[in-house]
Amino acid sequence: MSARDGGGERIDPRQPPSPRPETSSGIPLPEFLAREDGEIPGEYPFTRGIFKSGYRGRLWTFRQYSGFGSAEETNERYKFLLSSGSTGLSVALDLPTQCGYDPDDPMARGEVGKVGVSMFSLAEAETVFAGIDLSRISTSFTINGTAAILYAMYVALSDKTGVPRSALTGTIQNDILKEYVARGTWIFPVRPSMRLIADTILFSNEHTPRFNPISIAGAHVRDAGATAVEEMGYTLANGLAYVEELLRRGGDANSFAKRLSFFFYVHMDFFEEVAKFRAGRRLWAKLLKERYGITDPKALMFRFGVVCGGSSLTGMQPYNNISRVAIETMAAVLGGAQSIFTCAYDEAFQIPTEFSTELALRTQQIIAYESGIAKTVDPLGGSEFVEWLTDRMEGEIATILRELEDYGGVEKAIEDGYLQMRIAERALERKQKKDRGETVVVGENYFGAAGAAAVEYGEVFKPDPASEHRIRSRLEDLRRQRNAANVARTLDALERAARTSDTNVMPYLVDCCHAYATLGEMVARLKACWGEFSEPIRL
Amino acid sequence: METLRGKRIVIAKPGLDGHDAGAKIIALTLRDAGAEVIYTGLRKTPEYIARVAVEEDADALGLSILSGSHIELVSATIESLRRLAAEDIKVFVGGTIPTPDHETLKGFGVAAIYGAQMRLEDVVASLADHLR
């Protein structure tokens, strides 16, 4: 019996083949087409992408953001996502975890398990990842202020489950600079925060070489109001600030620069989004080479993930968002993203349902396996228009970098509240343009049903009100059961390490996690050494 | 159009939610409409916010919440105002508030709820109306 007889091997519905290198009519497709200037994908300055074979070698990672309520509920959702074809997990954490408060802290009132899962100790991490082999998945943590602690927890979890640290893959966002500007989960002042980030990157270089210890994010600044040019400009500026910090700590640029990755939003202006990524990728490579003399091509590669949707989505006529996300995903693919997260169409007004989450993943799969746009590398390269726009964007982004340098650097611009003020002004402008009808939003300021603001709700996920209480009692149980002397010993050691300026605190945080010290306890010790950020209010 | 001239308005971010673009857009807009605006900054407790509103002799208090914790945070803020005998300060809420929760918030005493899709001039007009 052969396959031709209709027998043969059945297809594995979860493992589609890579797109065939030919058109649907059978015209063979080259890997890429050469351009007049001779620039090819996978080579400096990487305008056309960081890999010669683009998505032929490997598709981007399909990532969905998920996590809510208790550790058990999150574990169930993860198993569901992995079984329906996700190749990476993305962990949403609740605000107390993000801001460094234990679930029983008065500051955490009403927020425990709300926008993500509560992960206040290694015990919670053990439950969230129960039955999931850490060496076979890539996990992305959207965490910043407490990124070092969550990373230490993940490392401790791998130790406990017998997975070698070197096998861990995933990402922690760990980009504190943009938190001060847009997302607001800062804890410590700028200086010690920069030190903590350098600690994580240097530790990761040594112990978890396949794990991304930072994802320098423009996404939140963009969603808050920045333009595409500003998003890329501020992000590269932040990236350079981390490079400077790592150099001060004696890091080897050729080695640590390989560990830096980026994260952006994709909104609706299709060609500008494509050009933004091409321009950013080229400018980053040039800056690292020309300013710091980095020579290793891998260290010059601008790797980035994206999220499609965000504030480009509307609460009115929410099904329109499905079309928006599809267009944005195509821009991300043509811009050469390494991982894509697609927002669910209902995200603008509720926690996405299983239905909407699956639909968002299917959108990516249709683009990956049916649309054919991933068959040839950088198919827009060489287009007069796209190359012109790429050059223009690069120039504009470089101008932003210069302006920030003239101001005295991003750290100063943040401490002064200058950047925050600029973003607020942009946010106001964006809103006014919509109100005045200059920016068209279909179904919202145009083509909406007259007077209708109504949204049809799906089966909305309601966080269980008892969940906060259950999470608190798990914390009480933990405090009773763990070895208190061990906890105190590891926390004391952490505090001593934090008081010196050149000790890497990461191994001490891992020890604290192993002893089941809580996140709030670790943060309290660090605050005692470093103080807290005081928000400049300038409007 | 300075329809809010002479009004003192506190804009606040209760709880841990760090998304402040909306709060700042409203703060700037109300200021342009003639109001005296006091913005608290991020991560303030309901008790702190109520105290600021009283100390600033505010006519209105705007709470911006996008984290889904509006029920707890709004009721705690209004309760704090009551304890300070400041029920005359009108409370407004902005952010992502699902429609089914609007009635609940109004039951606590919230004067109006404003969503991101609302035109800014409509927000100003509505506020002016409530503060007349």
**Complex ipTM:** 0.94
Instruction: Kindly indicate the confidence band of residue B1, based on its pLDDT and cuts at 50, 70 and 90.
Output: low
Chain A residue closest in CA terms to B18:
A184
- Mean per-residue pLDDT for B5-19? 96
Contact status of B125 with chain A (Cβ, < 8 Å): no
Q: Does any domain span residue B3? A: no
Out of A107, A109, A432, closest to residue B120 by CB: A432
Out of B24, B68, B117, closest to residue A316 by CB: B117
Q: Does any domain span residue B66? A: yes
Q: Which residue has the tokens 């299983």?
A: A354
Which positions 29-68 of B are in contact with A (Cβ < 8 Å)?
A: 29, 31, 37, 39, 41-43, 45, 67-68
Is the pLDDT score of A461 beyond 80? no
Q: Does any domain span residue B53? A: yes
Pick B108 or A84 by higher pLDDT: B108
Asked if residues A263 and A216 have their Cβ atoms less than 8 Å apart, the reply is yes
- Mean per-residue pLDDT for A453-478? 74
Is the pLDDT score of A1 beyond 50? no
Predicted local confidence at residue A70, as pLDDT:
77
A7-11's contacts with Cβ under 8 Å and 24+ in sequence apart are none
Is the pLDDT score of A3 beyond 50? no
Pick A115 or A428 by higher pLDDT: A428
Tell me the C-alpha distance between B41 and A538, whole Å. 10
For the ranges A20-29, A238-247, A274-283, the lowest mean pLDDT is seen at: A20-29
Out of A315, A351, A460, closest to residue B115 by CB: A315
Asked if residues A155 and A149 have their Cβ atoms less than 8 Å apart, the reply is no
Is the pLDDT score of A153 beyond 50? yes
Quickly list DSSP for A441-470. -BTTTBSPPTT-------S-----HHHHHH
Predicted local confidence at residue B33, as pLDDT:
97
Provide the CATH number for the domain around residue B15: 3.40.50.280
Q: Does any domain span residue B2? A: no
Asked if residues B71 and B42 have their Cβ atoms less than 8 Å apart, the reply is no
The count of structural domains within chain B is 1
Tell me the C-alpha distance between A9 and A98, whole Å. 48
Q: Does any domain span residue B62? A: yes
Q: pTM score, two decimals?
A: 0.93
Contact status of A449 with chain B (Cβ, < 8 Å): no
Residue ranges and CATH numbers for the domains of chain A are 60-436 (3.20.20.240)
**Cβ neighbours of residue A59 closer than 8 Å, sequence gap 6 or more:** A18, A368, A374
pLDDT 10s digits, A155-209: 999 999 999 999 999 999 999 999 999 989 999 999 999 999 999 999 999 999 9
Predicted local confidence at residue B67, as pLDDT:
86
Sort strands B60-65 and B90-95 into parallel, antiparallel or unpaired. parallel
Average pLDDT, whole number, for chain A? 92
- In chain B, what residues touch A109 (CB-CB under 8 Å)? 72, 76
Query: If we measure between CA atoms, which residue out of A55, A32, A141 comes closest to residue A337?
Result: A55
Provide the shortest C-alpha distance from residue A81 to chain B (in Å): 24
Contact status of B21 with chain A (Cβ, < 8 Å): yes
Chain B residue closest in CA terms to A182:
B19
The residue among B117, B118, B119, B121 with the most chain A CBs within 10 A of its CB, best to mutate, is B117
Q: Does any domain span residue B123? A: yes
- In chain B, what residues touch A115 (CB-CB under 8 Å)? 67-68
CB contact under 8 A, B15 and A315: no
Query: If we measure between CA atoms, which residue out of A69, A103, A77, A15 comes closest to residue A357?
Result: A77
Contact status of B1 with chain A (Cβ, < 8 Å): no
Predicted local confidence at residue A63, as pLDDT:
77
Sort strands A169-172 and A138-141 into parallel, antiparallel or unpaired. parallel
Contact status of B115 with chain A (Cβ, < 8 Å): yes
pLDDT 10s digits, A354-396: 899 889 999 999 999 999 999 999 999 999 999 999 999 999 9
Query: If we measure between CA atoms, which residue out of A111, A10, A30, A117 comes closest to residue A67?
Result: A117
pLDDT 10s digits, B38-63: 999 999 999 999 999 999 999 999 99
**Cβ neighbours of residue A238 closer than 8 Å, sequence gap 6 or more:** A175, A177, A178, A216, A410
Tell me the C-alpha distance between A74 and A92, whole Å. 9
- In chain B, what residues touch A432 (CB-CB under 8 Å)? 120
- Structural domain including B79 reads 8-19+26-97+111-130
Contact status of B104 with chain A (Cβ, < 8 Å): no
Q: Does any domain span residue B104? A: no
Q: Does any domain span residue B106? A: no
The DSSP output letter for B37 is E
Contact status of B114 with chain A (Cβ, < 8 Å): no
Tell me the C-alpha distance between A18 and B35, whole Å. 60
Instruction: Kindly indicate the confidence band of residue A11, based on its pLDDT and cuts at 50, 70 and 90.
Output: confident
CB contact under 8 A, B15 and A444: no
